[in-house]
Homo-oligomer: A and B are copies of this chain.
């Protein structure tokens, strides 16, 4: 299955600004992208990055640049791919740093065989991954897109399967999400965080992250509560 992987090169991961500098955020975003592309490939997908600008990294798959907002860029690409070949198309966000091939296989396998659209909801009501095998289904990523995508599917009579996966529900947007990468990740993003001095911090309740810099142990949790 061809799999579009949206990736923002324009101020990526701004909600991580309490934890990372702009240059670090760009570098970390590329590490996460590498992990996603590897997982998509291992799941049998053919990834194709859909970037808002040139990607400053070696990427082992095609890269299309489209600087339009996410929804318009994905819908244009969906139309184009479906016109080129009437086959299912996947859309997997480039920040799913702990996505596994197994969870992506579940997502990809559901379409065609049993449903028209399979959806992996993200934490907080977003849509982290989709597989689409329906001519009329279109995306709308604004706001609580999981519910919107279910409504859109209903409107075009597309059957829907929902993939229940913590791995796919975890998009890495906020400092607390870094803990998930350190706990569950084993790829480039987890290595990047460890190299940058991040470690789990156990302070009761959910585990946070702390960063060791210049000999000081700076708790991200304490510095900027989240």
Chain A residues within CB distance 8 Å of chain B = 15, 100, 102-103, 121-126, 143-144, 146-147, 164-169, 173-174, 176, 179-180, 183-184, 200, 202, 204-208, 225-226
Contact = CB atoms under 8 A, between A and B. Distances in A.
A130 to B, nearest CB: 15
Which 9 pairs between the two chains have the least Cβ-Cβ distance?
A124-B206, A125-B207, A166-B169, A143-B202, A144-B207, A166-B166, A125-B183, A164-B165, A124-B207
B173 A206 contact: yes
Contacts of A168: 166
A144 B204 contact: no
Number of copies: 2
A183 B100 contact: no
A160 B204 CA distance: 25
Given A143-B204, A166-B168, 8 more contacts: A15-B205, A124-B176, A124-B180, A125-B183, A125-B200, A126-B206, A143-B202, A164-B165
Contacts of A15: 205
Contacts of A226: 226
27 contacts: A15-B205, A103-B164, A121-B183, A122-B206, A123-B123, A123-B166, A123-B180, A124-B179, A124-B180, A124-B208, A125-B202, A125-B206, A126-B206, A143-B207, A144-B200, A144-B202, A144-B207, A147-B183, A164-B166, A165-B165, A165-B166, A169-B169, A173-B205, A173-B206, A174-B206, A225-B225, A226-B226
